[in-house]
Amino acid sequence: MMSDMKLDGKLSEAEVCLRDELYCIADSKLVLAGWYMLVLQNGRSVSDFTSISAMMQGQYGHARALYQVLGRYGVSREEAEWTRTAAEIRSPQVLDRPPQSWSDFIAAIFMVEQAISTQLSAYKGVESDRPLAGLASKVLKESRFHLSYSTGWVKALRNDPTSTIDADAQRRLVEALDWWGDVSQPDLLFSSGLRTESEADLRKRFLAEVGKTFDVSGVSGGAAKAWKRSIRRDGNPGIPQGLYDQISFKNRELALP
């Protein structure tokens, strides 16, 4: 497949789009793993502690597997994971704002896990790229329990009449939708068959999934003016330096498998 896309040894436009999207998905998982690492001590029980540890481990594993796919473009996993600065990380805007409470944490991970799984699900049926399709299927299978975890906590939090979970979710939903900030832009990955669903359909499916748990009726459909597909964000690229400093490994040799 890739040889068909090469143009004079340079990456084709579709190839650049796929590389960018894989960076966005992998970086989302890397930053989400960092969130789990930082929140771990706040687990409400030993089983929560174990669950958050497992989800952290899962997200790191998924990120690294996706970084390995970037080897097609001459980027090593180590380069992708270790050498980039805060300005080069392409995780979604929703993860920039730290969790304000346990309830806000649950709302945020609910949205992010759902958003990543929705986007990745459009790769599991790509016949022309079986390695990526196989990886997407495996990641989705493992992520199912991450979704159960956040959905279960949403239900549990609603047992408390003073819970802020629905208000937290509304704020996080608006932030999460920046992931699909302008679905009217040309969608080369879909039109070239490298992704099986369009951005517009994926956004719709995301809202339908979220709508099973939260009210999504007030969501506006306006396009973000400065949204860039290569970073899946409205505005400037990169994550806050403070977040980067907290989630990046200080001694990378200790983290290498």
List residues near other proteins by CB under 8 A.
Answer: 44-45, 47-48, 50-51, 53-55, 102, 145-146, 148-149, 151-153, 155-157, 159-160
Q: 30 with 60: CB under 8 angstroms?
A: yes
CA distance 72 to 84: 18
Q: Where are the alpha helices (DSSP H) in the chain?
A: 2-5, 13-39, 46-69, 77-82, 102-121, 130-157, 165-176, 188-191, 199-211, 241-247, 252-255
Q: Residue 39 Cβ, how far from other proteins at the closest point, in Å?
A: 14
Q: Residue 56 Cβ, how far from other proteins at the closest point, in Å?
A: 11
> In terms of Cα–Cα distance, which of 62, 55, 56 is closest to 77?
62
Is 164 or 192 the residue whose CB approaches other proteins more closely?
A: 164
Is 151 or 248 the residue whose CB approaches other proteins more closely?
A: 151
Q: Residue 58 Cβ, how far from other proteins at the closest point, in Å?
A: 9
Name residue 177's amino acid.
L
Is 48 or 96 the residue whose CB approaches other proteins more closely?
A: 48
Cα–Cα–Cα angle for 71, 72, 77, rounded to 5 degrees: 10
Q: Residue 106 Cβ, how far from other proteins at the closest point, in Å?
A: 10
Q: Residue 228 Cβ, how far from other proteins at the closest point, in Å?
A: 35
Is 155 or 252 the residue whose CB approaches other proteins more closely?
A: 155
Q: Residue 50 Cβ, how far from other proteins at the closest point, in Å?
A: 5
Residue count (the chain): 257
Is 152 or 221 the residue whose CB approaches other proteins more closely?
A: 152
Rounding to the nearest 10 degrees, give the CA dihedral for residues 150, 156, 160, 166: 30
Q: Residue 214 Cβ, how far from other proteins at the closest point, in Å?
A: 15
> In terms of Cα–Cα distance, which of 88, 93, 69, 92 is closest to 194?
69
Q: 237 with 90: CB under 8 angstroms?
A: yes
Is 115 or 154 the residue whose CB approaches other proteins more closely?
A: 154
Is 47 or 236 the residue whose CB approaches other proteins more closely?
A: 47
Q: 60 with 252: CB under 8 angstroms?
A: no
Residue 106 neighbours by CB under 8 Å, 6+ apart: 150, 153, 154, 157, 165, 168
